[in-house]
Structure 1
Amino acid sequence: MRGKPFLFYPVILFGFLLLVDSIFRIPFVQLLTKLDLTAVNYSAKRTLLENLISEKKTKSDKKLMLILGSSRLLYFDAEDLKSFYPDWEIYNLSSAVTTPAYYDYQLTRILDAGIRPDLVLMETDPNQFNQNSIFKISNLTYSFDLPYVLSNAWLFGKDNVSFFLGRKIFAVGTYKPYLDQMWRNYKNPNLESFVSMNQTTFDFIVQNNGHGLSPIDNYVEKDANLLDLTSHRTLDWLFASYVPSEMQYGFYEKILTRLKSDNIRAIIVWPTSSPNFEDLISKEKAVSAWEEKIGSVSGKFDQSILKLKEDPNYSCNAFADGGHIAKECYHSLMRAVQLEYFRRYETHRL
């Protein structure tokens, strides 16, 4: 071996690569690779989940509600919920662009910790069952832990497991080392403001039980042409290459199986969007096929979908864009959920 030092070259090279990769585990360096709030939202939800598991091991006199959704269930006002529903403690584990796999991970962690929610409010939507969604670069990149992925490898499949392991082992898989982009971000005059916003967003989410800090807060889009434009853009983004994901249906059934076996009360809700977008998706064959299948799967577990567009207890005429309701509509949304809860589970209180 003394005469063959070249045999150590691969080891030295690998060690050097790991050293370089470790630089991209530094939070500020990660931020320089991409100036967006995706990572901080998922990071805040991980912290919230750990806090919830830690705090809820002690009994509370309030009912516990878990919200599992996408950006369409993200922006409840924590103070409003406390005022209108003082008997409930409501934790929001929603995040942008989520899937049944993401919901199952959150729910599994909570139930396995011995925490029994009084109600699980879970969103469902045809895009969550799209094989060609951005699942890999959102949920699979920023969520989950190794034990969960390995224990569900049969559902994730070889490709997703390999992708997850690659991202976990090498930070540069997630935070790309494009030095020119990093330098531009470093010289960005708004960098300091973005760093501050990053921390503010994290703190707000954790301190407000997971309810999101809206970048547009109480904004309402009043231009019908813009609503139509954003509706078409959203449709093209979500359904241009739609292929049903058997993996996500598998996770959906896994969730319903666990809820039923543990006798956990649940409401599965299909949120609304603007009339422009609702009209567009009503013409999509993929949506009608999903609606039929999700109804059939849910029915096997004695569940039904609360379709807000058909619910007389829900009303919303304000929208942030084509795909999202305005914040003021969240009052009506929670009211519809509460009425559905009493209708299904506590009819004596109606």
Structure 2
Amino acid sequence: MKSKPFLFYPVVLFLFIFVIDKIFLLPIFHDEFLQAGNSVFYFQRKVLRERLQKDPDVKEKKLTLVFGDSRSYPFSEIGIPEPHKKNWTLYNFSSPQGIPMNSYIQFQEILKSGITPDFVILSLSPEAFDDSKGFILSPFLRMGCDTDCIKTVWEDVPLKEKWYYLLDRVFAIRSVEFNLSLFSTRLKQGKLKEYKSSHNKEFQLINYTKGEYLMYGVQSNPIKKIKNDTLRIGNLYMRSYEVGTSQLLYVEKILKITKEKKIKTLVIWPKVFPEYYAYYEKFHVKDVWWNKVEALAKQYDANTLNWNTPNTCDLFNDASHQSAFCFVDQMKEIWTSYAEK
């Protein structure tokens, strides 16, 4: 029988790719390897914790911590109304697709450092509670959860996401979400230094203040553009909707801590564009999700605030995010009705 070495070519190719893939296990790709968007935010939140620990204002003023996803980026110290501003400092740890599991881990790390806030704003979006859509959990598991974190949350991670996480360990390039197009652009322009925070403008912008991000600062975008975005994210997040078990558990863990430590807490449901809210109505999100959140908050003496009601700010950057202009009056409402009450 004639030898057929070509049959081994796929095996050799696979082994070659597998070996090359292990390059992405090097520390340089995991300690500080900033691409764009998610990786910049998750790295900056680690830096922000270190800045918080060194901030002298924390000892002299009352401290507010904000946790949530991109819908709570604009919560900012500059929005605290007078005369309360001089007595408060605010750090915003909201993260891209910041699920409650991520908020809990960040909160625990801050508490372990010896810092206890006076007020916590926990911003929640119903999309984060749908365990059937794994892409919602993946940014946190890949970029915001180290070995100790994985040990803490592993039993509560849905089975499908455990499988994807194990694939990330086998194929390292998955875990860093390597953007070949961005690498090519930076290489051609001689900007490979932008993988480091010291040369990354996006990081510097986010790190300039205390975690807030005011990119949603437009007064309002054209309605046609927002309606197109409504269709896009509606198809992405709301083809179906079911409340899973993993994230409600971590909302409760956060609220249990704030009650035990007597930290004032406000749980917020950020407002979305009305036509996108129609998707929520289709799946009875208020009944199957928000009512459960309100019950948990009441159980642990926390306040709740649902901005998806009439006569609240109707300026939107896109279907999922209010304009930052809304947060001026919203911050005033929070401080007069909750933080200082």
Amino acid paired to 2:280: I
Please say if residues 204 and 213 of structure 1, whose CA atoms lie closer than 8 Å, have aligned partners that are also in contact.
no
- Gapped runs of 5+ residues in structure 2? 1-14
Please say if residues 201 and 213 of structure 1, whose CA atoms lie closer than 8 Å, have aligned partners that are also in contact.
no
Aligned to 2:127: 127
Q: Structure 1: how far apart are the matches of 2:263 and 2:21?
A: 45
Q: Structure 1: how far apart are the matches of 2:195 and 2:237?
A: 30
Aligned to 1:339: 336
Aligned to 1:330: 327
Amino acid paired to 1:337: I
Q: Structure 2: how far apart are the matches of 1:303 and 1:164?
A: 34
Q: Structure 2: how far apart are the matches of 1:121 and 1:98?
A: 13
Is 1:98 the counterpart of 2:102 in the alignment?
no
Please say if residues 72 and 94 of structure 2, whose CA atoms lie closer than 8 Å, have aligned partners that are also in contact.
yes
Aligned to 1:321: 318
Shift, 1:167, TM fit:
4.0
Q: Structure 1 residues 40, 61: CA separation in 2 closer, same or farther (over 3 Å shift)?
A: same
Is 1:46 the counterpart of 2:54 in the alignment?
no
- Could you list the per-position Cα deviations for residues 307-345 of structure 1 after superposition, in whole angstroms to 9, with x for gaps in the alignment? 123487xx4232111211112112112112112215xxx
Is 1:139 the counterpart of 2:140 in the alignment?
yes
Q: Structure 1 residues 193, 205: CA separation in 2 closer, same or farther (over 3 Å shift)?
A: same
Amino acid paired to 1:98: G
Aligned to 1:297: 296
Q: Structure 1 residues 234, 160: CA separation in 2 closer, same or farther (over 3 Å shift)?
A: closer
Aligned to 1:267: 266
Is 1:20 the counterpart of 2:23 in the alignment?
yes
Q: Give runs of aligned pairs for residues 55-66 of structure 1, distance below 5 A.
A: 55=54, 60-66=59-65
Please say if residues 21 and 173 of structure 2, whose CA atoms lie closer than 8 Å, have aligned partners that are also in contact.
no
Amino acid paired to 2:23: V
Is 1:201 the counterpart of 2:202 in the alignment?
yes
Please say if residues 24 and 171 of structure 1, whose CA atoms lie closer than 8 Å, have aligned partners that are also in contact.
no
Amino acid paired to 1:298: A
Q: Structure 2: how far apart are the matches of 1:222 and 1:135?
A: 26
Shift, 1:30, TM fit:
5.4
Q: Structure 2: how far apart are the matches of 1:183 and 1:194?
A: 10
Please say if residues 81 and 332 of structure 2, whose CA atoms lie closer than 8 Å, have aligned partners that are also in contact.
no
Q: Structure 1 residues 238, 258: CA separation in 2 closer, same or farther (over 3 Å shift)?
A: same
Shift, 1:301, TM fit:
1.7
- Could you list the per-position Cα deviations for residues 184-234 of structure 1 after superposition, in whole angstroms to 9, with x for gaps in the alignment? 4456669689779971221232230111252xx532444222222212322
Amino acid paired to 2:153: N
Please say if residues 100 and 247 of structure 2, whose CA atoms lie closer than 8 Å, have aligned partners that are also in contact.
yes
Aligned to 2:150: 149
Secondary structure at the counterpart of residue 67 of structure 1: strand
Aligned to 1:174: 175
- Could you list the per-position Cα deviations for residues 50-72 of structure 1 after superposition, in whole angstroms to 9, with x for gaps in the alignment? 322x3258862211000112111
Q: Structure 1 residues 154, 341: CA separation in 2 closer, same or farther (over 3 Å shift)?
A: same
Shift, 1:107, TM fit:
0.7
Q: Structure 2: how far apart are the matches of 1:207 and 1:213?
A: 12
Amino acid paired to 2:258: L
Aligned to 1:9: none
Identity of aligned residues (%): 20
Q: Give runs of aligned pairs for residues 56-95 of structure 1, distance below 5 A.
A: 60-76=59-75, 79-81=78-80, 85-95=85-95
CA RMSD of aligned residues (A): 3.7
Q: Structure 2: how far apart are the matches of 1:148 and 1:287?
A: 31
Secondary structure at the counterpart of residue 319 of structure 1: coil
Please say if residues 99 and 137 of structure 2, whose CA atoms lie closer than 8 Å, have aligned partners that are also in contact.
no
Q: Structure 1 residues 92, 59: CA separation in 2 closer, same or farther (over 3 Å shift)?
A: closer
Please say if residues 24 and 172 of structure 1, whose CA atoms lie closer than 8 Å, have aligned partners that are also in contact.
no
* Aligned residues between the structures: 324
Please say if residues 149 and 161 of structure 1, whose CA atoms lie closer than 8 Å, have aligned partners that are also in contact.
no
Deviates more, 1:182-191 or 1:290-299: 182-191
Q: Structure 1: how far apart are the matches of 2:288 and 2:231?
A: 20
Q: Structure 2: how far apart are the matches of 1:58 and 1:322?
A: 36
Is 1:232 the counterpart of 2:231 in the alignment?
yes
Amino acid paired to 1:138: P
